[in-house]
Structure 1
Amino acid sequence: MKPTYQDALAYFGVSGAHPGGLTLTKFLLEQEKITEETTLLDGGCGTGQTAAYIKKNYPCSVTGIDYHPTMVKRANKRFEKEHISIQLVQGSLEKMPFPSDSFDIILVESVLIFTNCKNSLAEIKRVLKPGGVLLLVEMTAERALYAMEHQNMCEVYGIEKVYTEKEWINLMKEAGFPKVEVTLGHSVFSHMMTGMEPEDEAIDTSVPVNMQLEGKLMDHSYILYTYGNIIGYRVYRASL
């Protein structure tokens, strides 16, 4: 089985693969009311960078979930090193091992597109409490893509579809979210002009050289610089 883009992120321990990195995450969290009573899920927590930041800076309860076993190992190692108490679960957003009405806020950063989006959104709605909020940062096409553009992106990322803003909003509304807002958005190139420098960590250089996985990261860079005017991201805030 060929390695995926997600395998490459896990192997090299890339902490902030989503646009804006931790800088954007901090901004989003500042807009929310987070108290000691808040229960927050980091959906697709990766190496645990975001979850660790939240736990250290907010009084809420934090849970992380990620499907990739290497990511879960890296997150556990981070939490142990930083002496942070975070519930961490290996599992899929498409079928989460949590009771219904478990969380006040669910944060998903560039993860949903790698899943069956309809199934994941249904699960997210299930585990959100009434009045809960989904904060979603996702790759978004700036316009309807031509067939070859779409094919190239899907092949690099191993996904089935690149959604436009309208399509993302429709997916969330169909899943039962009555209120969906776009709070921020840029193309790859326009984001570069914002000056929002990501606070990402360097990749793990202690792992053995793996040209195949390095190639996956290079393919990602190719997509960004080739299609940077027609692909970007949106921050969606969906509430129940």
Structure 2
Amino acid sequence: MKPSYQDALAYFGVNGAHPGGLSLTKALLEREQISNATHLLDAGCGTGQTSAFIKKNYPCHVTSIDYHPTMVKRAMDRFQKEQLSIHLLQGSLENLPFPPNSFDIILVESVLIFTNNKKTLKELQRVLRPNGVLLALEMTAERVLSPLEQNNMCSVYGINQVLTEQEWVAAMKEAGFKSVEIKLAHSVFSHMLSTPEVEEEEMDRNVPHNMEMEQKLMEHSFILYTYGNIIGYRVYRAIC
């Protein structure tokens, strides 16, 4: 069985595998009210880079969850090395192992698109407290894509569909979120033009050479440069 794009990210331990990287995450968090009473969930935490930053810079309670066992192992190693008290679990965002009203803020960075987003959004809404905040940074189509464009992207990423901004907003409201704001919007190309200094994705250079994993990252780069004017990302801020 060929590796997925997520397998490749996990294998190479890619940190901040989303547009803007940790710098964008920092800017988003600065706008939120985060105190020692805040319970925050990093949903799809990957290598734990974002969770570690939050725990070191904010006084809140941090919980992290990821579905991929390699990512969970990398996050656990990071938290132990940096001696961070973060509750880490392996589990699916489509069936979260938390009771209702558990969190004040949920951060999701380029994760929803890899799940059944209808199930996941309902779960995120369920575990958020009243007036809780969902911050979601997600791949977004700049227009309705043709069947060929959809197929090309879905085959690389192993996803079902690339949604438009309107479709994401509708999905969030259908899941029960009261309001949805667009905090930032860019296509791949406009993001490149607006960011003079490109923040490189950190990765583990010590893993053995693996052609299939490397090929998957090359396919990702091909998609970005081929469709960079018609796909991009949005930062959605939804209130429970």
Could you say which TM-score interval applies, normalised by the shorter chain?
over 0.9
Match status 1:138 vs 2:122? no
Aligned residues: 240
1:93-114: per-residue Cα shift (whole Å, max 9, x none)? 0001111100000000000000
Structure 1 unaligned spans of 5+ = none
Residues 17 and 201 of structure 2 are in contact (CA less than 8 Å); yes or no, is this contact kept in structure 1? no
Confirm or deny: 8 A CA contact 1:20 1:196 kept in the other structure: no
What residue number does 2:128 align with? 128
- Name the counterpart of 1:220: 220
Q: What corresponds to 1:111 in structure 2?
A: 111
Give the 3-state SS of the residue equivalent to 2:64 in structure 1. strand
Superposed CA offset, 1:134-180 (max 9, x none): 00000000001111111100000000000000000000000001100
Question: Taking structure 1 as the reference length, what is the TM-score of the superposition?
Answer: 0.98
Residue 202 of structure 1 deviates from its aligned partner by 2.6
Query: What does residue 14 of structure 2 align with?
Result: 14
The aligned residue for residue 190 of structure 2 is: 190
Where does residue 79 of structure 1 map in the other structure?
A: 79
For normalisation by structure 2, the TM-score amounts to 0.98
Structural mapping, 1:81-100, within 5 Å: 81-100=81-100
Return the alpha-carbon distance in structure 1 between the equivalents of residues 67 and 97 of structure 2: 12
Alpha-carbon separation, structure 1, partners of 2:89 and 2:226: 36
Residues in 2 aligned to 1:197 and 1:59: alpha-carbon distance in whole angstroms: 30
Paired residue secondary structure (2:194): coil
Q: Which residue in the other structure is 2:69 paired with?
A: 69
Q: Which residue does the alignment assign to 1:55?
A: 55
Residue 199 of structure 1: how far off its partner (Å): 4.6
3-state SS in 1 of match to 2:161 = coil
CA distance in 2, matches of 1:59, 1:201: 27
List gaps (5 residues or longer) in structure 2.
none
Alignment-derived partner of residue 102 in structure 2: 102
Residue by residue over 1:186-210, the C-alpha shift from the partner in whole angstroms, topping out at 9 and shown as x without a partner, is 0000001112646555311111110
1:165 and 2:158 correspond = no
**Residue 39 (str. 1) matches residue 25 (str. 2):** no
The runs of at least 4 consecutive aligned structure 1 residues that moved more than 6 Å come to: none
Instruction: For 1:61, give the aligned amino acid.
Output: H
Whichever residue aligns with residue 140 of structure 1, its letter is T
1:22/1:198 contact within 8 Å kept: no
Q: 1:139-154 maps to which residues of 2 (within 5 A)?
A: 139-154=139-154
1:67 and 1:196, CA in 2 relative to 1: closer, same or farther beyond 3 A? Answer: farther
Distance in 1, matches of 2:25 and 2:200, equals 11
Question: For residues 199 and 96 of structure 1, what CA distance do their matches in structure 2 show?
Answer: 32
